[in-house]
Each structure stands twice: as C-alpha cells, then as structure tokens.
C-alpha cells in the first residue's frame, strides 16, 4: 500500500480520537469512509477490512447498539477465520470482543463461550505469560464480578495481575488497571478495606506515571469515592467524586460521558445523605449529557431513569417515580432481552413503587419477574436474588423492608 497505508494509519488515529472522546456518531461516519477505502483498494476479504469492521463494531458497542456491534464483529471474524485461520491471535481478539457485547446483552452463556475460545487460542499460540492472555483473564474477572461469583472473579483478576507484574513491572499503568479491577471485586463483595488497599495501589502508580490530572487518576478517585460511599462515609465519598469530576471537566470537557458518570455518582451519594434536591440536580445533569452524547435509547439513559425513579421514590413522589421507572423498563426491554439482570432491577423498583401506592398485586408481579430473572441469570444464592426473596416474603407478611442498595449493586456495581 505504501503512501496509502501511511495515510490510512494517520486517518485512523484521528478517528480513534473521536471514539475516545465519546463522539461515536462522528467515529462511525469516519470508520465507514475508512471501510470504503479499504474495500475499494483491498477487496472484501482482506484482513485490513476485518479491522475496519472491528472498529465499527467497537463504535456501535460504545453507543449501546449491541446488535449492530455483533453484526460488524461477526463480519470481522468471518474474514479472519478465512484468511488467518481459526487459531490466529486476531481471531482470539474477535472472540473477546463478541464476549464483551454478549455480556452486556446479558447473554452470559454466549459471553463465557467466546471468552473461553479466546483464551484457548491465546494460551496455545501466545503462551501463558502473554499480555493478551492477561486481557482475557481480566474480561473473565469482570464477567464473574457481574455475576456475583466473586471468588472466580478474584482468581482471574489475580492471574491478569501476575502476568502484568512479570512482563511489565510493578509500576506500569496496566498493573494499576489490574489493581483497580481487584478493588472493584472487593468493593462489590463488601470487603471495603481490601478494596481501598487495591484502589490506593492503583492510584499511586497512576499519579507517579501519568500525572495528577490524567483521566485514569480521575477513575481512581471515582472508585475510592464509590467504596467510601458504600461505607456510608458520605462526605469523604463526595471529596473523591469532586476530585474526579474536576479532572474530567478539565481534561475531557463538560459533555463527556465520564463527566456524566461523575454527576451520577454525586447524585447517588447526595441521595443517601437525604439531600434529594441536590441529588436530582446531579442526576439530571448526568441524564442531559447521556441524551446528548448517546441518544434517547442508550442503556445508560435507562440507568439514569432508574436512578430518578429511586430518588422520587425516596421523596415519596410516587407518580414521578412510576413515570421514570416505566421509562427505564421500556428502554431496557427495547435494548436488552427480557431476562437481562438490568430488567430485573427495573422490575424491583417498580415493585417498591407499586407497594407504596397500594397496588399489592402489581408489586407481587414485579417482584416475581425480578426473582425469575435474578435466579436464572445470577443464581439462587446471589445477594440480589436473596433481596427479592425477602421483598416477596415481607409483602406476604404485609411488612415493609425495602433493600435499595443491594438491588442497585446487582446491575451497576462499580462503574469502572
């Protein structure tokens, strides 16, 4: 390709910047131009065309358009299988990408199948100590964290960490990522001391290697805020969330998705402090960015609607709570399968609202829907499943015992 190859490489760097800034529609527009160039110059089955399909898949994945992402990832995989062979490392990468998207769709059996295919190729072709193997272990760790299988999550996250320490040294930013992921597992597990220990290790490396104002430092502050929020040290949590927000506003701009995440987390902690109007202000700031950057039908918009349903429930404004709860459920059913754990989360809050409105039978139906989903997808012993069982028991006994925080963590947990 010569000069054309160099130009395409520069072109792709510019496009990736759009993706990194959350400007997914612009990224898609340019990825499509890039694809057309490659199709014209190289033909339909060239490995570089597979790269273009992969890039489009990633952009649609980030947009929350999971079915389109799968379509492009599968096109990429088909070329790679035909041209590179079934055991090529690029095929393993495609399996990893498909695992990610199916995981987010709540198709856990398919997701684990793709992750295991990827790992098998990588172990065979690259060896146990290769950095790409660490990435797959990390994906498996995140997968099991979401499922609430924390022992397996820790096992895989530690495998990833061991490889990175061996290959990259103790102060590499990717080692910081591994510490961060272990912190996330321990945070979800309720082992807050260990979570803080790993988050602080991650933060120290990032401060030393990346500087005080790097977005990854903001992520560490955000996650420390999350664990202190879980410990009900609300003012300390706010301090970390505000540090994170300050960096993100300065480095990423006022309309970046990570800024929306910071606003959302500040909303959460102010809700727990009982400062509901302040919480609503932050939740709505978060929602505005998501609507503007991601569109009205992105799954993260549904998360914002769910959070607003919670806050209006806390304010005893059950009409508004029901409005946002139904919006969240409708969007999730449109984007996910009907048995996705996030759908179960929406049924749970709608059950709470219906109970308070005196609609006991409707509350029971919502809880039973949530229980069916959680039992199937997360297992009968998962904390979210146990929480719903308790809600149903209390409903039958005509008691009120709403367990908000556990049910929230079922789907959303740590954000990074």
Write the pLDDT tens digit of every residue in 39-57: 999 999 999 999 999 999 9
At 234, is the pLDDT very low, low, confident or very high (cuts 50, 70, 90)? very high
Query: The tokens of 390 are what?
Result: 């308790």
Query: Would you state the pLDDT for residue 25?
Result: 86
At 399, is the pLDDT very low, low, confident or very high (cuts 50, 70, 90)? low
What is the mean predicted confidence (pLDDT) over 126-145?
A: 95
CA dihedral for 191, 108, 68, 133, sign (positive or negative): positive
CA dihedral for 145, 151, 152, 156, sign (positive or negative): positive
Query: Would you state the pLDDT for residue 413?
Result: 46
Query: Would you state the pLDDT for residue 105?
Result: 85
Please work out, in degrees rounded to the nearest 5, the angle formed at the alpha carbon of residue 178 by the alpha carbons of 172 and 183.
130
What is the mean predicted confidence (pLDDT) over 399-404?
A: 51
Please work out, in degrees rounded to the nearest 5, the angle formed at the alpha carbon of residue 141 by the alpha carbons of 86 and 77.
20
Query: Would you state the pLDDT for residue 163?
Result: 98
Question: Over 70: is that where the pLDDT of 246 sits?
Answer: yes
What is the mean predicted confidence (pLDDT) over 63-90?
A: 95
Query: Would you state the pLDDT for residue 412?
Result: 47
Query: Would you state the pLDDT for residue 29?
Result: 92
What is the mean predicted confidence (pLDDT) over 284-293?
A: 94
Please indicate whether residue 252 or residue 225 has the higher confidence score (pLDDT). 225
pLDDT digits (tens, 9 = 90+) for 184-215: 999 989 899 999 999 999 999 999 999 999 99
What is the mean predicted confidence (pLDDT) over 300-327?
A: 96
Query: How far is CA 121 from each of CA 83, 118, 291, 304, 328, rounded to the nearest angstrom?
Result: 16, 5, 40, 39, 39
Please indicate whether residue 160 or residue 400 has the higher confidence score (pLDDT). 160
pLDDT digits (tens, 9 = 90+) for 2-23: 444 444 444 455 556 666 666 7
Query: Would you state the pLDDT for residue 403?
Result: 52
Torsion angles phi and psi, residue 151, rounded to 5: -65, -45
Question: Over 90: is that where the pLDDT of 293 sits?
Answer: no
Mean pLDDT taken over the chain = 90
- CB–CB of 99/114 below 8 Å? yes
At 161, is the pLDDT very low, low, confident or very high (cuts 50, 70, 90)? very high
Please indicate whether residue 278 or residue 188 has the higher confidence score (pLDDT). 278
Distance CA 405, CA 46 (A): 50
At 295, is the pLDDT very low, low, confident or very high (cuts 50, 70, 90)? confident
CA dihedral for 119, 124, 128, 134, sign (positive or negative): negative
pLDDT digits (tens, 9 = 90+) for 331-386: 999 888 898 888 999 999 999 999 999 999 999 999 999 999 999 888 888 888 99
Q: Calculate what percentage of the chain has a pLDDT beyond 70.
A: 90
Query: Would you state the pLDDT for residue 409?
Result: 52
Q: Which of 399, 341, 344, 340 is nearest to 366 (CA)?
A: 344
Going from the N-terminus, what domains does the chain have, and what CATH number goes with each? 1-127 (1.25.40.10), 129-211 (1.25.40.10), 213-292 (1.25.40.10), 296-416 (1.25.40.10)
Distance CA 328, CA 304 (A): 8
At 408, is the pLDDT very low, low, confident or very high (cuts 50, 70, 90)? low
Query: Would you state the pLDDT for residue 7?
Result: 45
- CB–CB of 94/73 below 8 Å? yes
């Amino acid at each position: 390709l010569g000069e054309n190859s160099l130009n395409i490489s520069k072109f792709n760097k510019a496009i990736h910047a759009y993706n990194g800034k959350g400007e997914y529609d612009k990224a898609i527009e340019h990825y499509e131009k890039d694809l057309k160039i490659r199709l014209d110059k190289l033909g339909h089955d060239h490995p570089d065309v597979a790269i273009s399909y992969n890039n489009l898949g990633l952009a649609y994945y980030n947009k929350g358009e999971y079915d389109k992402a799968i379509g492009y990832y599968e096109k990429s995989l088909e070329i790679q299988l035909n041209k590179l062979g079934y055991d090529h490392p690029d095929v393993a990468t495609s399996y990893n990408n498909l695992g990610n998207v199916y995981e987010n769709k709540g198709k856990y059996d398919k997701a684990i199948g793709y992750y295991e295919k990827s790992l098998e190729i990588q172990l065979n072709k690259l060896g146990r100590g290769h950095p790409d193997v660490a990435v797959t272990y990390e994906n498996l760790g995140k997968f099991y964290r979401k499922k609430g299988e924390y022992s397996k999550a820790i096992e895989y996250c530690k495998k990833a960490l061991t490889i990175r320490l061996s290959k990259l040294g103790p102060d590499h930013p990717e080692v910081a990522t591994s510490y961060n992921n272990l912190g996330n597992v321990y945070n979800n597990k309720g082992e807050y001391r260990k979570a803080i220990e790993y988050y602080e290790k991650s933060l120290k490396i990032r401060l030393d290697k990346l500087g005080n104002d790097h977005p990854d430092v903001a992520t560490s502050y955000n996650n420390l805020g999350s664990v202190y929020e879980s410990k009900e040290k609300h003012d300390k949590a706010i301090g970390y969330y505000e540090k994170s927000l300050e960096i993100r506003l300065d480095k990423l701009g006022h309309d970046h998705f990570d800024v929306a995440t910071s606003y959302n987390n500040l909303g959460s902690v102010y809700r727990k402090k009982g400062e509901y109007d302040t919480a609503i202000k932050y939740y709505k700031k978060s929602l505005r960015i998501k609507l503007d950057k991601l569109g009205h039908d992105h799954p993260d918009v549904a998360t914002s609607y769910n959070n607003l349903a919670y806050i209006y429930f806390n304010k005893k404004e059950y009409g508004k709570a029901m409005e946002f709860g139904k919006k969240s459920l409708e969007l999730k059913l449109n984007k996910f399968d009907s048995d996705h754990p996030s759908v179960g989360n929406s049924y749970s809050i709608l059950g709470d609202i219906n109970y308070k409105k005196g609609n006991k039978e409707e509350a029971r139906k919502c809880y039973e829907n949530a229980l069916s989903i959680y039992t199937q997808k997360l297992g009968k012993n998962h904390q979210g499943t146990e929480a719903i069982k308790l809600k149903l028991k209390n409903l039958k006994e005509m008691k009120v015992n709403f367990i908000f925080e556990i049910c929230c963590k079922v789907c959303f947990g740590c954000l990074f």
